[in-house]
Amino acid sequence: MRGARARAVGHGLLALLLAVVAGVARAEGDAPGPIAVDVGHTLEAPGATSARGRSEFEFNRDLSVHVVDALRARGWAVGTINADGRIASLRARPQAAGEAGAAFLLSLHHDSVNAFELRPWTWEGRALDYNDAFAGHSLFVSRDNPDTAMSILCARAIGARLQRMGFEPTHKNGRRRSYADREHAVHYYDGLAVLRHARMPALLFEAGVLKNRDEELLLRDPARQARMADAIATGLSACLRNGAPADDEAGADRPDRAEPPGP
Ligand SMILES: [Zn+2]
């Protein structure tokens, strides 16, 4: 990318990053359409089980309430997808977002670890398992989404705001998923159905690692959920209202230059 357009995109990104760091998003009358917040998993297939035996779906649902509140407080129209945990299929999620005219799809999840990394323990008489080696959030985008550049930009903005507020990302998923932005733990996961079938920019957020016994307690804390939601809403608002993505996916992508931070 060269010349005036490159400078314009550079200025757009600079304005966006300044907005993210300052924690402000410019309010505009012509903000794009509503934001769809998707609650990952279902009552019947509730995803991972935490170290203390709680289902991922319950964590996702709790966080979604705070994220919806934080986005509405910034003036967005927000629709929750799968609030009752009874959605029919993965494909029905992006479809519902499309029918709502959503400008962005944000799918909320909580992370686990590989089965071979689990250790047994007993909690309140229940035989469960845990892994305390990994903690932190991470973000995923798909190159099979029609607007990967905007998806990456919003993921970076959210990641930057989270870190500005003291949340630390995990690099555990860098072992299998390549980075769109290493510094902010934004990964490519092209095959994720909820992202690749979306007709609008989309990202999947993993809020933390449920198998980590300390982090599980943090993730259950409503005040911390609200703080995390505030970071997400600030980053997403800044991206959607102020952000100008590079004009192609390669231009939006930052090469993996830096080593991940130490443990
Ligand atoms: Zn999940």
Q: Residue 126 falls within a domain, yes or no? A: yes
> What is the distance in A from the centroid of ligand 1 to the CA of 109?
4
CA of 47 to the centre of ligand 1 (A): 5
Residue 26 has pLDDT above 90, yes or no: no
What is the CA(145)–ligand 1 centre distance, in A? 19
pLDDT tens-place string over residues 178-203: 999 999 999 999 999 999 999 999 99
Q: How far is the CA of 41 from the centre of ligand 1 (A)?
A: 6
* Gap from CA of 111 to ligand 1 centroid (Å): 6
pTM: 0.84
The C-alpha atoms of residue 258 and residue 69 are separated, in whole angstroms, by: 35
User: How many structural domains compose the chain?
Assistant: 1
Neighbour-count burial of 27, counting CB atoms closer than 10 A to its CB (0-12 exposed, 13-18 middle, 19+ buried): exposed
How many C-beta atoms surround the C-beta of residue 23 within 10 A?
14
Distance 26 CA to ligand 1 centre (A): 32
Round to whole Å and give the CA distance between 132 and 214.
8
In angstroms, how far apart are the furthest CA atoms of the chain?
66
Give the burial class of 4: count Cβ atoms within 10 A of its Cβ; 0-12 exposed, 13-18 middle, 19 or more buried: exposed
The CATH number of residue 236's host domain is: 3.40.630.40
Asked, for residue 257, whether it belongs to a domain, the answer is: no
Going from the Cα of 110 to the center of ligand 1, the distance in angstroms, rounded, reads 5
Better-scored residue on pLDDT, 252 or 44: 44
Report if residue 228 sits inside a domain: yes
47-100 pLDDT per residue, tens:
999 999 999 999 999 999 999 999 999 999 999 999 999 998 999 999 999 999
Q: How far is the CA of 76 from the centre of ligand 1 (A)?
A: 25
20: which 2 tokens? 């993210």
CA of 61 to the centre of ligand 1 (A): 11
Q: How far is the CA of 203 from the centre of ligand 1 (A)?
A: 13
Residue 110 CA to residue 170 CA, distance in Å, equals 12
The secondary element (H helix, E strand) that includes residue 94 is helix 92-99
Full residue range of the structural domain in which residue 91 is found: 3-21+34-252
CA of 68 relative to ligand 1 center, distance in Å:
18
Report yes or no: 69 and 229 within 8 Å, Cβ to Cβ: yes
Residue type, 142: S
Q: How far is CA 89 from CA 63, 83, 95, 198, in A?
A: 21, 14, 10, 13
Mean pLDDT, all residues of the chain = 88
Predicted confidence (pLDDT) per residue in 223-246, tens digit:
999 999 999 999 999 999 987 665
Ligand 1 center to 244 CA (angstroms): 29
Quote the Cα angle for 31-90-186, to 5°: 60
229 is a domain residue: yes
Residue 27 in domain: no
Handedness of CA 243, 246, 250, 254 (dihedral sign): negative
Flag whether 43 is in a domain: yes
**Residue 26 belongs to some domain of the structure:** no
Angle between helical axes of 148-164 and 3-22 (0-180°, round to 10): 30
Rg (CA), the chain: 18
CA 65 to ligand 1 centroid distance, Å:
17
Q: What is the distance, to the nearest Å, from the Cα of residue 161 to the centroid of all Cα atoms in its chain?
A: 12
The alpha carbon of 247 and the centre of ligand 1 are apart by a number of angstroms equal to 31
In angstroms, the CA 202 to CA 168 distance is 22
The rounded Å distance from CA 82 to ligand 1 centre is 13
Confirm whether 38 is domain-assigned: yes
Please list the residues that pair with 35 across neighbouring strands: 78, 104
Q: Which pLDDT value is given to residue 111?
A: 98
